[in-house]
Amino acid sequence: MIQLATEAALEAGRFLKMSVGKIKHIERKQGQELNLVTEIDKKSEEMIIRKIKQRYPHHDFLAEESGSHEKQSDYKWVIDPLDGTTNFTHGFPIFCVSIALEVKGEVVLGVVYDPNADELYSAEKGKGATLNGKPIRVSTVSKLIESILVTGFPYTIKDNPDEIMRHFKNFLVEAQAIRRLGSAALDLCYVAAGRLDGFWEASLHPWDMAAGVLIVEEAGGKFTDFRGFPSSIYKKQLLATNGLIHEHMIGVLGKSK
Ligand code: IPD
Ligand code: CA
Ligand code: CA
């Protein structure tokens, strides 16, 4: 199954890279003027689902563009066919494909492919995480002031920017640096690879996080909600770190000013 997920991610990722600058239709998702979708997101998703269905016609799917295809199987593929659509529409080369498999509600494998860097991140439950076949580990940075963090902003930010800006401002003065890359799946993989030390985001979807969270955990990192409670890909809040700065980040996220 990991091989199938890998092949599907590589194929879709190469298609995305080839399609930069060739987008014909950009739509805004209903009620969200910042949330874009292109025909390339949809085509990538069709390619991935078709490939997996050929082998596993009775599995369930939860995919960003076509929603949930439920057959009451124990197996559910959770797919983001293009994570980083805003970057993609501008030709900004940070985007990827994310594919995960849940078995009876537990994510057991995840692959994320970045076609621009030709980097394939992958993990299987209990077997560690790899980047292009080589094992990866989270960083060993233990002080927030020496940490490089990443975050993302929801498409609905205009409805309630204050809380998001409060977190952002508080981390700005407590961390070494903050980045905003525009692809939650890659943010997670960068934490797993030790390139970034922590990632927080307030409003994600299962397809943004399913593969990346497993990759972080299998690389030795930690994933909870903002208060430090065990989380799930179906809850929106995500705090993922190298484990060492986790408590400190929870403290910052808990500040009321
Ligand atoms: C988005 C990206 C972005 C994050 C948003 C996501 P999309 O996914 O991961 O980094 O901040 O919350 O929705 O729409 O490009 O697949
Ligand atoms: Ca996404
Ligand atoms: Ca997407």
Q: Which residues crowd ion ligand 2, with CB under 5 Å?
A: 80, 83, 208
226 and 113 inside one domain: no
Quick check: 144 pLDDT over 90? yes
Provide the token pair at 39: 């025909």
Q: Is 184 close to ligand 1, i.e. is its CB under 6 Å away?
A: yes
- In this model, does residue 69 exceed pLDDT 90? no
CATH number at residue 23: 3.30.540.10
Under 8 Å CB-to-CB from 190, ≥6 apart: which residues?
150, 181, 196, 199
Among candidate residues 135, 156, 189, the one where a domain is terminated: 135
Nearest ligand (C-alpha, residue 238): 1
pLDDT for res 140? 98
CA 252 / ligand 1 centre spacing (Å): 23
Is the pLDDT reported for residue 57 higher than 90? yes
200: its two tokens = 């927080």
193 forms bridges with which residues in the sheet? none
Q: What confidence tier does 208 reach under pLDDT thresholds 50, 70, 90?
A: very high
| pLDDT at res. 76 | 98
On whether both 126 and 162 belong to a single domain, the answer is no
- Residue that is last in its domain, among 78, 107, 135: 135
Examine the domain organization and report whether 62 and 178 are in the same domain: no
**Domain span holding position 213:** 144-254
Tokens 């929801």, residue?
Answer: 154
> Could you tell me the CATH number of the domain that includes residue 174?
3.40.190.80
The sheet with strand 60-63 has its strands ordered as 67-69, 60-63, 75-83, 96-103, 106-114, 119-124, 129-131, 134-135
Please check whether residues 77 and 187 belong to one and the same domain: no
pLDDT digits over 26-36, tens only? 888 877 888 88
Summarize the confidence of residues 70-77 as an average pLDDT: 94
Higher pLDDT, 195 or 24: 195
Pocket flag, ligand 1, residue 152 (CB < 6 Å): yes
